[in-house]
DNA sequence: GTAACGTATCAGCCCATGGTGACATCAGTC
DNA sequence: GACTGATGTCACCATGGGCTGATACGTTAC
């Protein structure tokens, strides 16, 4: 969750959803500096959301399963909330 | 996204997924102080993730649709990533 | 009416995070 | 070997955000 809290990191994830990209592309697309992107990509990697593809240059690639897991978790909470909202029972206050 | 980045707020959302609760319950469950919870709940309300139910006491309730929207957005990114990963084409570097 | 409770706001402190530039290392080219 | 570019790390600073306690206001109970 924290990994996705930063707007730039969310932008990175969105860009990587479309295609794997190397830092040179990300610099172009986001306008952020290389070192800053390096920091953010490290965090996204540590969070398990992206991985690297060594190529001519180092490409970064989204890990769909990790993102799907976050989505499923939130979706599950939403489903649970829908079910319990129907029961309409409230826990009494002390 | 930012709204869910804080562990306490994520805990609140998880608790509210199970049932709507008033602050007195949240104080008990989380151990956080009333004023702190009030701050966090304000942020969650501003983010559209929870709403209030005036009752004997004020209850807070999760908005499943809002949470579902976040989940769907992330899920969509994951799906896109899966599709593009199969194409295996890489944007060339300059 | 008074006291207690529920709730939100305010102001302040302190730590975490985001961004930056310098620098180091590695790989490729000449 | 010298140079260049790609990549990541380090140290620092500014800002943002989380938490706290005091306070204000409205409601409820006696």
**B45 within a domain of the structure (yes/no):** yes
**Nucleotide D26 C1' to residue B54 CA (A):** 14
Inter-chain touch A64–B56, beta carbons under 8 Å: no
Q: Which nucleotides of C are covered by protein (CB under 7 A)?
A: 6-10, 17-23
Confidence at residue A85, expressed as pLDDT on a 0 to 100 scale = 72
Mean pLDDT of the residues in chain A: 90
**B88 within a domain of the structure (yes/no):** no
pLDDT tens for chain B, 94 residues long, are 789 999 999 999 999 999 999 999 999 999 999 999 999 999 999 999 999 998 888 999 999 999 999 999 999 999 999 988 766 678 888 7
**A12 within a domain of the structure (yes/no):** yes
The residue segments making up the domain with residue A82 are 2-87
ipTM over 0.90 threshold: no
Confidence at residue A78, expressed as pLDDT on a 0 to 100 scale = 95
Confidence at residue A88, expressed as pLDDT on a 0 to 100 scale = 66
**A93 within a domain of the structure (yes/no):** no
**Nucleotide D25 C1' to residue B35 CA (A):** 15
**B18 within a domain of the structure (yes/no):** yes
CA distance B68 to A67: 14
pLDDT tens for chain A, 94 residues long, are 789 999 999 999 999 999 999 999 999 999 999 999 999 999 999 999 999 988 888 889 999 999 999 999 999 999 999 988 766 678 888 7
**A94 within a domain of the structure (yes/no):** no
**B86 within a domain of the structure (yes/no):** no
Query: Looking at the complex, does the CB of residue A38 fall below 8 Å from at least one CB of chain B?
Result: no
CATH of the domain at B57: 1.10.10.10
Q: List the single residue in B with minimal CA-CA distance to A83.
A: B18
Q: Give the tokens for residue A91.
A: 């826990």
**Nucleotide D7 C1' to residue A21 CA (A):** 15
Chain A, residues 44-63, CB within 8 A of chain B, namely 55-57, 59, 61-63
How many domains in chain A?
1
| B2, HSE (Cβ side, Cα atoms, 13 Å) | 8
**B17 within a domain of the structure (yes/no):** yes
Confidence at residue A56, expressed as pLDDT on a 0 to 100 scale = 82
């Amino acid at each position: 969750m924290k990994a996705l809290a930063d707007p730039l990191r969310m932008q990175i994830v969105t860009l990587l959803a479309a295609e794997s990209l190397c830092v040179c592309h990300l610099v172009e697309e986001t306008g952020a500096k290389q070192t800053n992107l390096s920091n953010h990509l490290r965090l996204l990697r540590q969070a398990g959301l992206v991985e690297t593809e060594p190529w001519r240059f180092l490409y970064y690639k989204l890990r769909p399963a990790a993102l799907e897991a976050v989505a499923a978790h939130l979706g599950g909470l939403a489903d649970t909330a829908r079910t319990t909202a129907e029961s309409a029972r409230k826990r009494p206050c002390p």
